[in-house]
Amino acid sequence: MHHPYIRYFSVLNTINLLLIKYDFINLLLHYRATMTDLVNPYNEEDCSKNVTLNIAITGMTGAGKSSFVNAIRGLPNDDKNAAPTGTTETTMKPSMYPHPSMPNVKIWDLPGIGSPKFRAKKYLKEVNFHTYDFFLIVTSERFKENDIELARAIKKSKKLFYFIRTKIDNDIRAESHKRNFDERMLLENIREDCKANLLKVGIPKIFLVSSFNLEKYDFQKLISTLEDELPENKKFALIQSLPVYSLEALIKKKTYYKKLIWLNAFAAGVGAIAPIPGLSLVCDYGIIKTFFQQVFVGFGLSNQALKALSERVNKPLEQLKAAKTSRFKDGSTEDIVIDMLSKPMIAIAKTLGTILALLPGGALPAGGTAIMAEDTKNVLAVSQLA
Ligand code: GDP
């Protein structure tokens, strides 16, 4: 006969285990939704269920809104799918630009806010402010009264907003011929000046950027801030949609893909031990191929991304293409996936679930991801961005 305390503890333990299992199933359900969305973003049917991220870019006409929209979509201003730049706006409607490879990430070029009759509340209503996950208020000079009024109205509506001071490359160029020129000091002065202009907003978050050089200045800091402030699934979507403009951006993406692989392996592994009805992942070779293809596009290795990069860094496209040397250089092909899966241990496994369960930590997709990351590093090196 057990001591009553032991019985008591064993009942407690059972309850605890049940609770843990309940949490665990919830966690899996949550991540499974996120994973399916992210692993298979091209599936039309899945798109409606996808995590959507709506980014609003606003500010005065000429501030550099459209150029910034194009920069975060990884497109040069003269791309046929780019937002038109350098034009005088006539429309009061927001223009939506889907991300080229992740249509669930939508970047909205909002109408200019320069009019003297501007009313922030009315403007927010007209642009359907509840659509957006966050607002970027863009200026290329000092922030003006309209920017401040807009920020205060956004704050009231409990949405996230950030200030972007664009065309920093112009400021640097204009000052760089001076004797005693100190880039760091200049940036600090611009930052302080912006802060002084925005005193009425509380503690503003200001980022200095150049749409033509995302790798420089504060763009990375903006992304890190968004990472801290956005919900987990939105964060995933944001990081995966960003162009690979630097080694730092590549490392960030790699970490996210690793997380995705780990979550996948985690769910699959558990499924293999104790099948939970409705939880087994629908996985096949196709999913692995799609996953690799997404990494390929996400790492900026597609022809479209290299073309945009070649124009931006002024290097011949062929030279950038030649920097890719791995077996994945032309993307995720059937041959590579079949070859990878034909290793003796893996060949007997029928699904991605069992494959990942066989390989702790999802070594197979992680391997492919690491190989492609090397290609990207080489491309960045040739582009003199790393
Ligand atoms: P919008 O009216 O706010 O959409 O502004 P645009 O994106 O059309 O930009 C207005 C002008 O500023 C265009 O000629 C752009 O090429 C230029 N521009 C925009 N962003 C930058 C930048 O970061 N650096 C430089 N040097 N020029 C920029």
- State which ligand 1 atom lies nearest to the alpha carbon of 212: 23
Report whether residue 319 contacts ligand 1, using a CB cutoff of 6 Å.
no
Ligand 1 centre to CA of 203 (Å) is 27
pTM of the model: 0.75
Q: How far from 118 is each of 95, 145, 147, CA to CA, in Å?
A: 19, 10, 10
Spell out the long-range contacts of 129-132 with Cβ–Cβ below 8 A and sequence spacing 24 or more.
129/56, 129/154, 129/157, 129/159, 130/157, 131/54, 131/56, 132/54, 132/55, 132/56, 132/108, 132/159
Q: Would you give per-residue pLDDT tens digits along the chain (386 residues)? A: 455 555 555 555 555 545 444 444 444 444 444 444 444 433 333 332 357 899 999 999 899 999 999 999 988 888 888 888 887 765 678 999 998 877 888 999 999 998 888 999 999 999 999 999 999 999 999 999 999 999 999 999 999 999 999 999 999 999 999 989 999 999 999 999 999 989 888 889 999 999 999 989 999 999 999 989 998 888 888 888 888 888 888 888 888 877 766 555 444 443 333 333 333 333 445 666 777 787 888 889 999 889 988 888 889 999 999 999 988 899 887 777 767 666 555 544 545 555 555 544 445 666 777 888 888 999 999 888 87
Q: Tell me which H or E stretch contains 366.
A: helix 363-382
Domain residue ranges of the chain, discontinuous segments joined by +: 4-41+243-347, 53-241
Ligand 1 centre to CA of 223 (Å) is 21
Ligand 1 centre to CA of 56 (Å) is 17
Residue nearest to atom 18 of ligand 1 (CA): 64
CATH fold group of domain 53-241: Rossmann fold (3.40.50)
At 20, list the tokens.
């843990």
DSSP codes joined into one string, 206-219: EEE--TT-TTSTTH
Report whether residue 66 contacts ligand 1, using a CB cutoff of 6 Å.
yes
* Confidence at residue 333, expressed as pLDDT on a 0 to 100 scale: 79
Ligand 1 centre to CA of 87 (Å) is 10
Ligand 1 centre to CA of 209 (Å) is 12
- State which ligand 1 atom lies nearest to the alpha carbon of 70: 7
Pocket-testing residue among 85, 87, 144, ligand 1, by greatest number of atoms within 8 A of Cβ? 85
C-beta separation of 344 from 273 below 8 A: no
- State which ligand 1 atom lies nearest to the alpha carbon of 77: 16
The one-letter amino acid code at 38 reads: L
Report whether residue 157 contacts ligand 1, using a CB cutoff of 6 Å.
no
Report whether residue 206 contacts ligand 1, using a CB cutoff of 6 Å.
no
- State which ligand 1 atom lies nearest to the alpha carbon of 59: 3
CA distance 377 to 383: 10
Ligand 1 centre to CA of 376 (Å) is 28
At 288, list the tokens.
């692995």
CA distance 307 to 230: 31
Ligand 1 centre to CA of 85 (Å) is 7
- State which ligand 1 atom lies nearest to the alpha carbon of 213: 23
Report whether residue 84 contacts ligand 1, using a CB cutoff of 6 Å.
no
- 64-99 pLDDT tens trace: 999 999 999 988 888 888 888 887 765 678 999 998
C-beta separation of 58 from 136 below 8 A: yes
- Classify 180 as helix, strand or coil: coil
Classify residue 373 as exposed, middle or buried by CB count within 10 Å of its CB (0-12, 13-18, 19+): buried
Report whether residue 234 contacts ligand 1, using a CB cutoff of 6 Å.
no
CA distance 273 to 270: 5
Report whether residue 212 contacts ligand 1, using a CB cutoff of 6 Å.
yes
Ligand 1 centre to CA of 140 (Å) is 8
